[in-house]
Amino acid sequence: MGTDPKHIVILGGGFAGVYTARYLEKLLPPEQASITLVNRENYWVYQPMLPEVISGSIGLTNVVSPIRRFCPRTNLVMRDVEDIDLRNQVVTISPGFLPRQLELKYDRLVIALGNVTNFYGMPGLIENALPFRTLADAMVLRNHLIHVLEEADVEENPEQRRKLLTFVVGGGGFSGVEVMAELNDFVHAVKKNYLRLRHEPHRCVIVQAGDRILPEMSEHLAVFAQKILRKRGVEILLNDRLFSATSERAILKSGTEIPCKTLISTVPSALPPVLQKLDCAKERGRLVVNTALELKDWEGRVWALGDCASIKTVAGKAVPPTAQHAIREATAAAINIAASLRGGKRAEFAFEGLGTLGSLGHGAAVAQIFGIKLSGLVAWFLWRCIYLMKMPGWNRKIRISTDWLLHMLFPPELAQTKVALEYGIKNQHFEGGDIVFRQGDLGDNVYVIQEGECEVLREKDGSQELLATLGRGEYFGEMAVLSDRTRNATIRARSAMNVLIIPKHDFNKLRESVPAFGEAFSELAKGRAVGGPAHSSIGALSTQELP
Amino acid sequence: MGTDPKHIVILGGGFAGVYTARYLEKLLPPEQASITLVNRENYWVYQPMLPEVISGSIGLTNVVSPIRRFCPRTNLVMRDVEDIDLRNQVVTISPGFLPRQLELKYDRLVIALGNVTNFYGMPGLIENALPFRTLADAMVLRNHLIHVLEEADVEENPEQRRKLLTFVVGGGGFSGVEVMAELNDFVHAVKKNYLRLRHEPHRCVIVQAGDRILPEMSEHLAVFAQKILRKRGVEILLNDRLFSATSERAILKSGTEIPCKTLISTVPSALPPVLQKLDCAKERGRLVVNTALELKDWEGRVWALGDCASIKTVAGKAVPPTAQHAIREATAAAINIAASLRGGKRAEFAFEGLGTLGSLGHGAAVAQIFGIKLSGLVAWFLWRCIYLMKMPGWNRKIRISTDWLLHMLFPPELAQTKVALEYGIKNQHFEGGDIVFRQGDLGDNVYVIQEGECEVLREKDGSQELLATLGRGEYFGEMAVLSDRTRNATIRARSAMNVLIIPKHDFNKLRESVPAFGEAFSELAKGRAVGGPAHSSIGALSTQELP
């Protein structure tokens, strides 16, 4: 050989990325190739089992596999990809502890960055819908579910309690169905530990754009799945989709509104921003590759695979974004990369899929394998066997089997494993008529209107007096925060409204350190106090009542 | 009975609180008493095993026990205690989803709120030292350890790499020693999965104020423990203590500085704020109770137990803050509460302790039980048996045994289970001479000086030119953030300095929505650009270079 090893850089640590690294480790000796994989996490998620984290039937860290152990010769960089320069063959990586970016030069590049959730054009979804892709998403959802159950148990108001006990999933594909099935099982199982919720019904709703769920499967199996889910109390709304959301409800395209505190969206997806800005051919929001998985115009240098690539088999069939396909894509890409470095036969992607499997929760599933359709307990058993078999390594296999066994013997975990406090400046969306806060509430946040209008209302003896209307760029809520008293007016959105929410904690830190920031709000208060008739009445809820 | 049940409210869900609830459930039927327990979490941490979460030898949710299952008849309120009004017998609870507080009236009150970490007078500790009390603390520490290992594996600079691989624990009591033992074991075990760290040494340091570690035990055992720890590579610094810290190093009272990115503090503690403001007798920072555990001046109504109470046995001996004592305190308090409601014999607290146990990591421990002293493997085996036996419920016992077994068969978990992004406005502390950022770094934050001074330096051809000195209330770092370029000056603290850090993400949100906020920084930039000679040179790093 005599020459330096070539640098192969793999972006993304999903099925496609880690299996490419693993095959390359086998195909190319260290003196021929150094392999680097960039991924935000140091583990790789076994996606089909992720929904089981919700009910705790598989322990948190058992649905993931450390990349370092799966690809022992690969250099892992646990950071984000910020830029790809195809011309100069350089990838820019986000900073670590020090504010300096890292640049990785490559001889061969594999792009397997998957896709991201994209709520563009759907007001309030980004603020209120929980995604379900990563282990972090699954943990956040699980903790959120426990939080709403805990709050429902304390809540006196029946309408509020119903809202806390309503769970909506947008998207009726595999992911949406499996998430809902696990969620429903979990809530059923743990509700008996809540003294006041034991006999209270909860509501589960799947919203699906098509005229049936599970479009990935035959109609026969989808109808079976619908029947099972409905029998278990899940409502299925067909031919409808999520349109917008507030912190209090989901709003569908048909106009249907579902009051809820839990909204999960498993659709829609888009290319990650770093690929959106990449200067190369794309179709239907994916990177264009040939049947050797080479990126168009960069053949022999760059490969794209997994969910971010638009792949067709040799027979011309579009390849779906599933794990079984990603693994075969990885094999093909690894063979072709090795061939590009040392010559040899190239591989064309021709895998047509073995079948599909979907879990419906305890003791039920649907399966369609080698043309055979199965449903119910047999399919469920098959589901567990196949995915357990495919889980790499004895360590994980044994841990998951143990988890499953213990889950059958004991009730599910109920501990909330929350780490972070929910501080921080954030955005929120309100629809016309929504109450932002009520007179008498605690002053926990300051609001800045970014879009839309709201009304300031004083409630007295059961009637409401309109004190003022506020619009874009105006602030409200500062007085109760400044004075540490309760709100002395109600704020109601007049139209769809977007606000920036500054929590009291951050507001006070900023006010103390940046005087101009605090003054902006004091000025406003003064303006309200000395203004015209409408303004002076708002004054009543501001400076005049300061201690 | 004929009368309404009495309301018993228990504040705090540690050993003392949950065992009181459990005993009360047995002593008093529902028609005599309704029991409510307020705790921030819905689980109760089995404290002695918490350090094992670090190495993953026990799964995350297996060191905690859901309170709802342990005390099935108790109403759990998963919120914070905000105020206790002893006179009117009302406890105020923090709001849930709605910004309204909850008020709980009580006939009998149990205060078992434990203590909190208190870094008052220790600059930089609150910003940089990781506490170790709760499950969340353990998860944060574990994720942090994985993060520094990942970064060390990428780091080229050997000094920086050494800093990333240095781990300091403040406090050499049980908690500090067990945390360090587990941390050291974990780093040893997983380092082999990092290609570039395999042969790199790491540094572990315990800092202890006394002249030996483990003051809770006999000198003989403490010396044994020191020997074992030192043999395993842990440095033990005696007669010294943490004095201050920055994000780059720990500074001890003796003046010793230890460059590190990981600093854990297991001392010191204080009463939770809600108890600090409570109007009742206190001694050495704890609530004063009699031997029946009744709060002084509120006998027959209020009991205080656990780590927040200053308890003496009937024999006059001070009671240490351990789990075995808390459980006996709970029994006594429950008996006395029952007696206060329906008459009967009262209990006096007389428990003198059975012994002490401390784990030193894989296969070693120290124990002192019924006067017998044990060390090494025998003590370690005893440690595991005793704590497993005391773990309530078969579910947990089986899960933990399984975890221990699997931990012996397989390498420890390596997946980082991080949920939250580290956004948000925060404080930071620098010592004189510290570099805040360097010319050429990315502009990731804006800084506001709250205390102290810093120098603005321009580096050119290897030499440094002093451009300006900034003090309290002044800002820096805004230009690189506004212009999206790298820093064009270095900032060095002149003295100890406290700053407010506003991350780019928050800075831009605020600037867009609150014009006055953005203007405060633009004004400053203008001022710098048109100022005197020193100022105009800072101008060079501000507006002039804006695009």
B96 in contact with A at a CB cutoff of 8 Å?
A: yes
Do residue A442 and residue B60 have CB atoms under 8 angstroms apart? no
pLDDT one-digit tens code per residue, A47-71: 999 999 998 889 888 999 999 999 9
CA angle B169, B172, B173 (to 5 degrees): 125
> What DSSP assignment string belongs to A197-212?
TTT---EEEEE-SSSS
pLDDT one-digit tens code per residue, A280-306: 999 989 999 999 999 999 999 999 999
Q: What is the predicted pLDDT for the residue at A56?
A: 86
A395 in contact with B at a CB cutoff of 8 Å?
A: yes
Tell me which residue of B512, B454, B522, B444 sits closest to B477, measured CA to CA: B444
A401 in contact with B at a CB cutoff of 8 Å?
A: no
Residues 6+ apart with CB under 8 A from B25: B35, B71, B72, B73, B74
Give the span between the Cα atoms of A498 and A124, in whole angstroms: 8
Residues 6+ apart with CB under 8 A from A56: A142, A186, A407, A412, A413, B61
Q: B-contacting residues of A 142-181, CB under 8 Å?
A: 146-147, 150-151, 153-155, 160, 164
**Residue B77, amino acid:** V
Of B97, B135, B448, the CB nearest to A514: B448
Residues of chain B with pLDDT under 70: 1-2, 420-423, 523-547
- Neighbour-count burial for A89-109, b at 16+ CB within 10 Å, e otherwise: bebebeebbebebbebebbbb
Residue B130: strand pairing partners: B264
ipTM field: 0.91
Give the span between the Cα atoms of A289 and A110, in whole angstroms: 12
Give the span between the Cα atoms of A77 and B365, in whole angstroms: 37
> What DSSP assignment string belongs to A111-174?
E----EE--TT-TTHHHHPEE-SSHHHHHHHHHHHHHHHHHHHH---HHHHHHHTEEEEE--SH
Q: pLDDT band for position A540 (50/70/90)?
A: very low
In A, which residues are within 8 Å of B410 by CB distance? Answer: 395, 398
CA dihedral A206, A212, A214, A219 (to 10 degrees): 150
Of A75, A427, A448, the CB nearest to B514: A448
Q: B-contacting residues of A 21-40, CB under 8 Å?
A: none
Mean pLDDT computed over A524-540: 43
Q: Could you identify the residue written with the tokens 């949710």? A: B61
By residue count, chain B amounts to 547
A136 in contact with B at a CB cutoff of 8 Å?
A: yes
Q: What is the predicted pLDDT for the residue at B524?
A: 65
Q: What is the predicted pLDDT for the residue at A468?
A: 94
Q: What is the predicted pLDDT for the residue at A543?
A: 34
B450 in contact with A at a CB cutoff of 8 Å?
A: yes
Note whether B411 and A393 are within 8 A (CB): no
Stated pTM of the model: 0.92
Give the span between the Cα atoms of B432 and B124, in whole angstroms: 13
Q: What is the mean pLDDT of chain A?
A: 91
Give the span between the Cα atoms of B544 and B547, in whole angstroms: 8
pLDDT one-digit tens code per residue, A333-376: 999 999 999 998 999 999 989 999 999 988 899 999 988 999 99
Residue A36: strand pairing partners: A9, A75
CA dihedral B191, B195, B199, B203 (to 10 degrees): -40
pLDDT one-digit tens code per residue, A394-447: 999 999 999 999 999 998 888 888 776 666 899 999 999 999 999 999 999 999
Of B139, B425, B519, the CB nearest to A510: B425
Give residue B473's region: left, alpha or beta (phi > 0; psi -120 to 50).
Answer: left
Above 90 in pLDDT, residue A534? no
Residue A310: strand pairing partners: A288
**Residue A343, amino acid:** G
Residues 6+ apart with CB under 8 A from A337: A8, A20, A24, A27, A108, A110, A303
